[in-house]
Structure 1
């Protein structure tokens, strides 16, 4: 697995991987939301359960909004789902007749159900996600090896790394977030708009080279319309006659939030890598995360609290740095403050105009619920995960195809 230039270790490094291939077809990776609550049947919001194939959540929302002639911002969702997959998720749509939504038709989107409710869906309004995954290009003899890895993950928990999705297809969203926090606009513009990468389409590489040469008008003319956020920034810089300071002002809030979140995730992954062999063991000064309550507390006596960790009631946690992040004490706290110091940052540096980066705690592990393995034209694996947990982390432990790399 590849994510932000880091070689991430395996929790099950002493067990062999099975190899194989994921997502050969979208149907090989099925994701279904587990709702936090059911639609009541009353209210001005329409809850539409959709099934999408080969589309990102944002792409599906834009298509539906365009068909309904509404702003994409009026459509709510609980979380982002894989594009290269078959995914079922709920969307909320404001002030639209149920019949209109039912009649929508797209090649890659099915409307499965429509029901009224009182509130808009927001990220976090979700109990979990259920996965059914097929691994191809492996033999049936790999079943015991996969079961051995799942046994460890079920007992100890799965490392709660942020996956490659968080770091974007240019694998630099964490870098963009750091530059936002540092308020380094010149380097941000170069990283965001310039510096072509070999995997990008040739016309995009050509447009980025024009940015590197500060040929704003020509870059704007060549810039692809589908990269609308970037295009908006280029247009503003061109209008301002090359003044880069305008970039931070015109970049939309959603993009800024995603970039800073990626930087938070990058720092979290470093701390988790250092803690991996002890991710189920508490230390004095830890901030323990209470899974059921989604609350935290400082561990005063690790020996007293460890039975609760053994029962998966609580887990050690790491910081998502922000203005009000509760930092650990003792040795865990020293490590958290050290990583900020290495980046020449303080918590107050996460004050970014237009954003409220309060910070949070994230458990270093997550529970693997109801895991099952069987054989059906490939190795089939199903399980349920909490919101925000990455199925790709589970599969990386099982497959070990390549360096567990997050970049």
Structure 2
């Protein structure tokens, strides 16, 4: 995969992250709580060394319900300590033996509450990250300066390397599948469709970063209202007013997640977006034939309630990002490390 351009210029100092699962903590934030009654049990879990799909499989087996009946909001990987809700349609409260069986597999149940409905995908608003990064003491001032710059400007909203598989192996698989025609039986979870769309988005964002245009609005830009899925076309409103809204993180420029449908952008913005993927007809046409609907994603992500704490050999960072944004997109602006 390409080493996508960084907003802060040259590659940063070498460093490390995820030294232990406890050095990479992710907590889902919903903005609501289970109601306390209903047909579904919601489990607030803390897992170590277990991804979300494995946690769902464990809950299914131990509680005796189908995996399809279990709800979750976001997929979290196994190289971390993560806290998230899972739901299951259970009449009886789990007994201590069942909870102990889950804990022995790396899934600790912290709370159990009832709710009328199954937990739906994408229900959480934010992910809170508490991360430890390592770097040489001689680089401390430079790394902290980069952190402060990100707090002020946000970070390019790249899809993380994990989206593309080990060594980027999912991208050639996506190319081959879309070239011959996507079929659900060949990609049941839609992973390769997501890989293709993520790659095309990253290419467009990379070009905007390289041109210094990732956090400004081009003429004909489609803007995203911060913290929502709301999109609107930038009009000929006062340039100063739009610049103020961009500077306050009220709105963000966007780029397409390619698929079937209207691009939405116009003029200079639309021309720029088409130019960045002009040589990727196989991917774009394959996505359209697969029936994927075109969507848009913000080009930048703001750090919500950011904190920096010096520790021996590095720093502890805490911040929240909107659902779908990658903490690694923030870290790659601070340090150089594998998988960033």
Q: Which residue of 1 aligns with 2:263?
A: 326
Per the normalisation by structure 1, the TM-score is: 0.75
Q: Does 1:271 align with 2:204?
A: yes
**Contact 2:21–2:49 under 8 Å retained in 1:** yes
The more displaced of 142-151 and 60-69 is: 142-151
Q: Does 1:389 align with 2:322?
A: no
Q: Does 1:335 align with 2:272?
A: yes
Matches within 5 A, 1:277-296: 277-296=212-231
Match of 1:84, SS state, is coil
Judged with a 3 Å threshold, the aligned counterparts in structure 2 of structure 1 residues 97 and 171 are, in CA distance, closer, same or farther, namely farther
Post-superposition shift, 1:350? 2.6
**Contact 1:128–1:387 under 8 Å retained in 2:** yes
Q: Which residue of 1 aligns with 2:27?
A: 32
Judged with a 3 Å threshold, the aligned counterparts in structure 2 of structure 1 residues 398 and 83 are, in CA distance, closer, same or farther, namely same
Q: Does 1:98 align with 2:96?
A: no
Mapped to 2, the partners of 1:344 and 1:154 lie a distance apart of 37
Judged with a 3 Å threshold, the aligned counterparts in structure 2 of structure 1 residues 48 and 72 are, in CA distance, closer, same or farther, namely same
**Contact 2:227–2:322 under 8 Å retained in 1:** no
Post-superposition shift, 1:70? 2.4
Mapped to 1, the partners of 2:228 and 2:52 lie a distance apart of 28
Deviations 1:352-389 (A, max 9, x none): 56xx5212110000111122111334421111111111
Mapped to 2, the partners of 1:346 and 1:249 lie a distance apart of 16
Q: Which residue of 2 aligns with 1:350?
A: 287
Residue 47 of structure 2: which of 38, 52, 63 is its match? Answer: 52
Give 5+ residue unaligned stretches, structure 1.
Answer: 186-247
Match of 1:105, SS state, is helix
Judged with a 3 Å threshold, the aligned counterparts in structure 2 of structure 1 residues 341 and 137 are, in CA distance, closer, same or farther, namely closer
**Contact 1:176–1:260 under 8 Å retained in 2:** no
Q: Which residue of 1 aligns with 2:3?
A: 7
Judged with a 3 Å threshold, the aligned counterparts in structure 2 of structure 1 residues 323 and 280 are, in CA distance, closer, same or farther, namely same
Q: Which residue of 2 aligns with 1:374?
A: 309
Q: Which residue of 1 aligns with 2:336?
A: 400
Q: Which residue of 1 aligns with 2:250?
A: 313
**Contact 1:134–1:380 under 8 Å retained in 2:** yes
Post-superposition shift, 1:123? 2.3
Judged with a 3 Å threshold, the aligned counterparts in structure 2 of structure 1 residues 147 and 161 are, in CA distance, closer, same or farther, namely same
Count of aligned pairs: 332
Residue 124 of structure 2: which of 123, 126, 134 is its match? Answer: 126
**Contact 2:181–2:286 under 8 Å retained in 1:** no
Mark the structure with the bigger radius of gyration.
1
Mapped to 2, the partners of 1:75 and 1:398 lie a distance apart of 37
Q: Which residue of 1 aligns with 2:71?
A: 76
Give 5+ residue unaligned stretches, structure 2.
Answer: none
Mapped to 2, the partners of 1:116 and 1:311 lie a distance apart of 39
Per the normalisation by structure 2, the TM-score is: 0.89
Residue 153 of structure 1: which of 150, 153, 159 is its match? Answer: 150
Mapped to 1, the partners of 2:167 and 2:32 lie a distance apart of 36
The more displaced of 358-367 and 372-381 is: 372-381
Mapped to 2, the partners of 1:96 and 1:389 lie a distance apart of 36
Match of 2:125, SS state, is strand
Post-superposition shift, 1:82? 2.6
**Contact 2:59–2:102 under 8 Å retained in 1:** no
Deviations 1:66-100 (A, max 9, x none): 22232222111111113111111111112352224
The more displaced of 381-390 and 174-183 is: 174-183
Mapped to 2, the partners of 1:157 and 1:325 lie a distance apart of 28
Mapped to 1, the partners of 2:234 and 2:283 lie a distance apart of 23
Post-superposition shift, 1:158? 0.7
Judged with a 3 Å threshold, the aligned counterparts in structure 2 of structure 1 residues 85 and 178 are, in CA distance, closer, same or farther, namely same
